[in-house]
Amino acid sequence: MPNTVRMKLLFELSGEHPDLPVAELECVGRVLSRRTQVAVAECPDPEATRRLSLTHVVMEYLGECEPTAAAFGGLLRDLGITTTRPFAGRVKTVQGARMDISSLEAERMIGSLIAGPVSLRNPIEEYRAIVSDDRCYFGRVIFRIDRGAFEARNPTRRPFFHPGVMMPRIARALVNISLVAPGERLFDPFCGTGGILLEAREVGARILGSDFDPEMIEGCRRNLPGPDVMVADAAAVPIRDSAIDAVVTDLPYGQSVRVRAESMDQLYDGSLAEIRRILRPGRRAVVVTNRDITSIAACYFTILQEHEQRVHKSLTRRILVLS
C-alpha cells in the first residue's frame, strides 16, 4: 500500500476559544505543535482544511525561529525563496507576544530577502509570519477560510428560527471534532431547528436527526428540506446497533423544551446509553450541556476531551468529546 504524502501546514487560528480551534484540526491532520492562535499540523489533503471554522488562514509551513530580527533574517536566508509572482510580506503579532523589531520592519525583511517582485497592492502570493509566545512561524498563504459563509447561515436568516440555538461556526467546529468524514453518517438526537445537521451536510456527511418535539421537526424540515429527520424519544431511537459514525448534539437544558423523561438526569442517562448503542465502536460523540454531566457520561464512554464556552453571563456550554 503506497504511503500517504502529508503536507506540513501552518494555521492561524481564531482567538475566540483557547482550545476548540486546535481540537478541530484533528479532522484534517495530526497536530505537531501549537502556540496561542497558531498550530502546525501534518495534513494529507490541504483542500480538506476548507471545512474548518475556527481557523483564519491556512499556510504552507516554511519554518520557525526565535522571535528576533537576527533569527528571522537567518531563517529567510536559509530558505532562499525565489518567485516570479508578485508577492507581499505580512507579519502578525499575537497579543502578548514580542519581537525585537516592529511588524513593519519584519515585513520589509521579507520583501528584501525573498527574490521576486514585491506588490503590496495586488500580490498574487503572500508570505506571512506569525509571532506567538516564544516563536515566530513563517508560511506561504494557501487560502483564507470563508467566514462570510457562516454568517450567511445565521440562524435568524433561516425559514424557521428558535431562540437559543448554536451559531454556525461553533456547530461546525463540533462536527469537525467528531471526526466525521464525507459520506459517513452523523446523527443528532436533539436536532431542534437543524443547525448541527446543516453544518454536517456542508462537510459532506450523510445526516440523520430526531427530536421529541414535532414542532422542532417540522421547523427542521423547513430549514433542511430533504434530510432524514423524525419525531423520536432520544432514549429509544429506531436505529440499529452500531449504525452511526458520529453523534453531535446539544442536549436540552430544561428551559422551554419538550422531553419525555421525568428528570433531566434521567434524560441524559437514557440518551447517552442510546448514543452508545447506536455509535460504531471507536467512534466519537460530541455532546453539549449547560452543566457537568461527566459522571453520567463516564458510565458509557471514555471522556477524551472537556471544553467550556461562555456564551453569556447565565450560560456556559460544557462540551464533552466521548468515545
Q: Compute φ and ψ for 248, nearest 5 degrees.
A: -135, 125
Q: Give the three-state DSSP class for 161.
A: coil
CA angle 186, 56, 5 (to 5 degrees): 70
**2: pLDDT confidence band, cut at 50, 70 and 90?**
very low
pLDDT of residue 163: 87
What are the beta bridge partners of residue 128?
A: 90, 139
Count Cβ atoms within 10 A of the Cβ of residue 205 and give its class: 0-12 exposed, 13-18 middle, 19 or more buried.
Answer: buried
The DSSP code for 156 is G
**36: pLDDT confidence band, cut at 50, 70 and 90?**
very high
Give the span between the Cα atoms of 299 and 312, in whole angstroms: 30
- Average of per-residue pLDDT across 253-268: 70
Domains located in the chain, CATH noted: 7-144 (3.30.2130.30), 151-322 (3.40.50.150)
Summarize pLDDT for 299-318 with one digit per residue, the tens. 999 999 999 988 887 788 99
pTM of the model: 0.94
pLDDT of residue 21: 98
Give the span between the Cα atoms of 194 and 160, in whole angstroms: 10
Q: Could you please report the per-residue DSSP string of 245-299? A: EEEEEE---SSS---SSSSHHHHHHHHHHHHHHHEEEEEEEEEEESS--HHHHTT
Summarize pLDDT for 90-121 with one digit per residue, the tens. 999 998 898 999 999 999 999 999 999 999 99
